[in-house]
Amino acid sequence: MLEQFKKRYDRTPSGMEHRVPPGQYVTEKFPVLHYGDVPTYQDVENSWDLKVWGAIEQPVRLSFAEFRALPTVEIVTDIHCVTRWSKLDTRWEGVRFRDFLAHMPPLASTTRFVLAHADRDFTANLPLEAMLADDTLLAYIYDGKELTPDHGYPLRLLVPQKYFWKSAKWLRGLEFLDEDQFGFWERHGYSNNADPWKEERYGE
């Protein structure tokens, strides 16, 4: 596996080494990776929604139009996949999660974790602290264009500080939790903390 990725992706431009975590290789491509098939959405305006529930004063359901009316930010960041490719200077636009929370009812004071729920039964868990980072977005524009179905249209989570598996595509729900609960890849042996700079690939 590693050799294969080396051949295809070893393109780290000189001077950029400090941007590439240990064991990673830079790619110019944008590989597509996920478990299962790509969901298709008909009539997103009427059928898609984003739900928020759990340790929050009141559950919320946002329609497509309501979500898209929220203010967005643009960020440029590096992403790191546990299969060893990294991509530098990716440009995303979406609702900063921290700003999103400002539009929500208050969280319970005991809330410490977030479980992201995606279509096709995918989940990813994150500490609330990581979710509150400046560069954690609910993203729907990549490089100036609407996300493609492969990359998570109509909405994905983007948590650049963690390995990319935490960045759930086809996001549909955010569940607030007092106690941590493993997501899909975490249950399958991947690291819970998933910090690429500490090379936390697999579970302890």
Write out the binding residues for Mo ion, residues 20-49 only, by CB under 5 A. 33
Out of 140, 153, 165, 190, the only residue in the binding site for Mo ion (CB under 5 A) is 165
Token code pair at residue 167: 């960045």
Cβ neighbours, 10 Å, residue 93? 19
- Which of residues 101 and 194 has its CB atom nearest to ligand MTE in the complex? 194
Q: How far is the CB of 132 from Mo ion (least distance, A)?
A: 23
Q: Which residue's CB is nearer to ligand MTE, number 103 or number 193? A: 193
At a CB cut-off of 8 Å and minimum separation 6, what does 70 contact?
A: 95, 99, 100, 103
171-197 burial, b for 16+ CB within 10 Å, e for fewer? bbbbbbbeeeeebbbbeeebbbebebe
> Which CB, 96 or 191, lies closer to Mo ion?
191
- Residue 152 or 160: the one with the smaller Cβ distance to ligand MTE is 152
Q: Which does 85 bind (CB under 5 to 8 A by kind): ligand MTE, Mo ion, none?
A: none
Residues at the site binding ligand MTE, with contacts judged by CB under 6 A: 31-35, 81, 118, 120, 122, 151-152, 164-165, 167-170
Query: What is the x/- site pattern for Mo ion, positions 80-99, by CB under 5 A?
Result: -xx-----------------
From Mo ion, ligand MTE, none, which one binds at residue 170 (CB under 5 to 8 Å depending on kind)?
ligand MTE
**Considering CB distances under 5 to 8 angstroms, the limit depending on partner class, which of Mo ion, ligand MTE, none binds residue 142?**
none
95 and 70 Cβ atoms separated by less than 8 Å: yes
3-state secondary structure of 36: coil
Q: Running DSSP on this structure, what letter comes out for residue 4? A: H
How near is the Cβ of 38 to ligand MTE at its closest, in Å?
9
* Smallest distance, Mo ion to C-beta of residue 48, A: 24
Q: How far is CA 84 from the centre of its chain?
A: 17
How many alpha carbons fall within 13 Å on the CB side of residue 166?
28
Which of ligand MTE, Mo ion, none does residue 153 bind to, with CB < 5 to 8 Å depending on kind?
none
Sequence-distant (6+) residues with CB within 8 A of 109 are none
